[in-house]
Amino acid sequence: MNEISALQKVRASYQPKLPAVLLNGINNVSASEGAPTEAVRDKESIKELFKNLYGMPVVTFEAGSTKSSAVRNVGVILSGGQAPGGHNVIAGLFDGLKNANPENKLYGFLGGPSGIIDGKYIELTSDIIDAYRNTGGFDIIGSGRTKLETPEQFQKSLDVCKSLNVSAIVIIGGDDSNTNAALLAEWMKDRNTGIQVIGCPKTIDGDLKNEQIEISFGFDTATKTYAELIGNIQRDANSAKKYWHFIKLMGRSATHVGLECALRTRPNIALISEEVEANNWSLKYITDYMTDIIVKRANAGKNFGVALIPEGLIEFIPEIKAMIANLNDILAKADGFDNWAIEEKMSYVSTNLEKANAEVFNSLPSIIKSQLLMDRDPHGNVQVSRIETEKLLIEMIEQKLKGLKAEGTYKGKFSSQAHFFGYEGRCAAPSNFDADYCYSLGYNAVALIENGLTGYLSSVRNLSKPASEWIAGGVPLTMMMNMEKRHGEMKPVIQKALVKLDGPVFKELKDNREKWALEECYLFPGAIQYFGPSEVCDITTRTLYLEQNSKLVTK
Ligand code: FBP
């Protein structure tokens, strides 16, 4: 690193907070075990696949008697999409290891899971760590999306660990990456390698959560960053009064990001993918719903507004969802599909899709069709960040408005601007919450390792309270798993947490959205504050607040 910004310089000295129990020191905590656990679904299949790990208890750390800790080397991997605070997880891991035994070493595998397979690593020293404390990004060691799943990959990882005398691996990742962590942990345990594998819950999408994991890290900072930008756009829309802004927001499947941003900014329209799916809303229905609001506002002389579109929407519209599932199956069978010419791809798809799905596919604009045919990520997911749903909706709405104009029922003017906020928020400097939470997750991972655990996700709970009241522990990865179809085959994966339509967070949107649609109730949250009054710089998300205090209503 060369020159650093003034903020980075001051921020480097910020000391993240830890749960009180971890302040006792790694060698002074012990794990208290809960009851045996079960997978969320498909219990028998998961049990069969994870013979060694299945059923382990949730653990909570308590102050314990002082133990001495043997010298150990640990390896760390950043996996999947960037999320603010990843560097602090590594800093917490480093400090926790040094606290356990100053002779301990931390190796960083480079470029994601492929780093451990190919033996590409660096030793993370205090000079390196200090340069990255409280900064955004994953550039300390880089990230990647290689899927760790074959015995050959596991064997190579074992060889690399043996050559470095590494006895524990920490995988910092989302649902897919922690599925990798579970598979690797099972393989290592089955062969009595003595190598432990621990996961850390990362993803701005906020969909890696359950009773024990209240939120994944990065969600807080990313949503605050997007909310700032949305607020700025709302201010612009309300000043110029001439554009409808369609803003697609990152979040591959679940709409937690979109929902949190909607509550923070109160836009005129906020689509929620889970609601679309639950109510079987077709693309036509969504177009009609949005057009209706646009027309009503135009009738009141307001030819402007802001609409939030979740990145994953397209996969939740029932007819498109069915078509994509069929598409994924036929693409999995088409050898070298990514290298085919576009005409060849289109013809293969049109002939091989089932009739109803082919009709849906062919009804879409060509640009969206080509985007649907782009390569899948290594986990078999459609890369929704590359599908321009916001433009698809604009096009459909324009058509609809043209018809209404011809009928004489619409006299407004529709000028649109399309935006996509995704990469803007993934590497922002972590908010105070994410800086503290991430550091705690990393530090806590060392406590899990020192307590001899493997196949666990680092868990820090009670997050809407001050850090001193946070509860540290671990959750067995198998507890979150179920079977899902990937690349045409049933695979064990961590179940994604979708927006709960009967939950308090969605309720707040539902209770207010009619008013927000027609009036300008915009909120302008402004930039993340790192210094200043606690009620400004330490508050976490509305989502977490409402989930933990479901009785309180919008102020
Ligand atoms: P993770 O699930 O790995 O955290 O990634 C989340 C995400 O940021 C999604 O919101 C987005 O759809 C995707 O990554 C984009 O992937 P890429 O970085 O490969 O473009």
Residue 277: which of 496, 500, 487, 507 has the closest Cα? 500
The pick from 89, 252, 381, 383 for probing ligand 1's pocket by mutation, whose C-beta has the most ligand atoms within 8 angstroms, reads 252
Q: Of these residues, 175, 176, 205, 434, which one is catalytic?
A: 205
Confidence (pLDDT) at 94? 98
Confidence (pLDDT) at 325? 87
Residues 418 and 284 in one domain: yes
Query: Considering only CA atoms, which residue is closest to atom 6 of ligand 1?
Result: 81
Query: Considering only CA atoms, which residue is closest to atom 10 of ligand 1?
Result: 251
Whether 404 is in a domain gets the answer yes
What sections of 13-125 are H helices per DSSP? Answer: 43-49, 86-100, 114-118
Question: What is the number of domains present in the chain?
Answer: 2
Rounded to whole angstroms, how far apart are CA atoms 311 and 308? Answer: 9
Residues 90 and 44 in one domain: yes
CA–centroid distance, residue 104 to ligand 1 (Å): 33
Q: Which residues pair with 32 in a beta bridge?
A: 60
CATH number at residue 435: 3.40.50.450
CA–centroid distance, residue 222 to ligand 1 (Å): 12
Query: Tokens 């926790």 map to which residue?
Result: 96
Ligand 1 pocket member 250 (CB < 6 A): yes
Task: Point out the ligand 1 atom lying closest to the alpha carbon of residue 204.
Answer: 4
Confidence (pLDDT) at 226? 98
Residues 510 and 465 in one domain: no
Residues 247 and 210 in one domain: no
Query: Considering only CA atoms, which residue is closest to atom 19 of ligand 1?
Result: 81
Domain span holding position 406:
220-425+502-531
Whether 554 is in a domain gets the answer no
Residues 360 and 251 in one domain: yes
Confidence (pLDDT) at 379? 64
The answer to whether 369 and 327 are in contact (CB under 8 A) is: no
Residues 434 and 414 in one domain: no
Confidence (pLDDT) at 370? 87
Task: Point out the ligand 1 atom lying closest to the alpha carbon of residue 216.
Answer: 4
Confidence (pLDDT) at 169? 98
The pick from 248, 250, 386 for probing ligand 1's pocket by mutation, whose C-beta has the most ligand atoms within 8 angstroms, reads 250
Residues 344 and 362 in one domain: yes
Residues 260 and 394 in one domain: yes
Ligand 1 pocket member 258 (CB < 6 A): no
Instruction: Provide the whole-model pTM.
Output: 0.93
Confidence (pLDDT) at 230? 98
Confidence (pLDDT) at 2? 66
Residues 334 and 253 in one domain: yes
Ligand 1 pocket member 276 (CB < 6 A): no
Residues 473 and 509 in one domain: no
Residues 168 and 307 in one domain: no
Rounded to whole angstroms, how far apart are CA atoms 198 and 176? Answer: 14
Query: Tokens 């949107």 map to which residue?
Result: 509
205 labelled catalytic: yes
Gyration radius of the chain's alpha carbons: 24
The 3-state secondary structure of 468-480, one letter per residue: HHCEEEEEEHHHH
Task: Point out the ligand 1 atom lying closest to the alpha carbon of residue 175.
Answer: 2
Vertex 250: Cα angle to 458 and 488 (nearest 5)? 75
Q: Running along the chain, 555 residues long, what does each successive block of 10 average in pLDDT?
A: 82 95 94 95 96 97 87 97 98 98 98 96 97 96 92 96 98 93 96 97 95 94 98 98 97 95 98 97 96 97 98 92 88 86 90 93 87 77 82 94 95 96 96 98 98 97 94 97 87 94 97 97 96 90 91 40
